[in-house]
Amino acid sequence: EVQLLESGGGVVQPGGSLRLSCTASGFTFSTYTMRWVRQAPGKGLECVSSITGDAAATSYADSVRGRFTISRDNSKNTLYLQMNSLRAEDTALYYCAKDFVRALGDWGQGTLVTVSS
């Protein structure tokens, strides 16, 4: 059974940093593209970043490019999202999701990031 467990969320002041983690199990982690998707309170879904299985390619939404960095450690089955220069509009529930033929086949429960002074 695929399991994705996000952690690292919390309350941070504007301009601050957080690192999210997503620990995966139940599949061969290194062979799958992984994505971070966020959902602001009461709003829709936004894919903020993606990384291929071998970490050779990454992509970012315009809203986070230059501030967020996606990475992975395949030896630890863990996906990361380093978030710097956080803004109020980054407040959201952050999900990690496993790619399935360019769809999002499995999701974690999410970790909440709140940017507030």
Q: How far is the CB of 15 from another protein (least distance, A)?
A: 25
Q: How far is the CB of 8 from another protein (least distance, A)?
A: 17
Query: Taking Cα atoms as reference points, which of 37, 33, 11 lies closest to residue 24?
Result: 33
**Are the CB atoms for 30 and 53 separated by under 8 Å?**
yes
Q: How far is the CB of 116 from another protein (least distance, A)?
A: 23
Query: Taking Cα atoms as reference points, which of 35, 7, 48, 40 lies closest to residue 114?
Result: 40
Nearer to another protein, 16 or 99 (CB): 99
Nearer to another protein, 55 or 104 (CB): 104
Nearer to another protein, 47 or 55 (CB): 47
Nearer to another protein, 13 or 63 (CB): 63
Other CB atoms within a 10 A radius of the CB of residue 96 amount to: 28
Distance CA 98, CA 114 (A): 24
SS3 89: helix
Q: How far is the CB of 13 from another protein (least distance, A)?
A: 27
* Contact positions vs another protein (CB under 8 A): 35, 37, 44-47, 50, 59-62, 95, 100-110
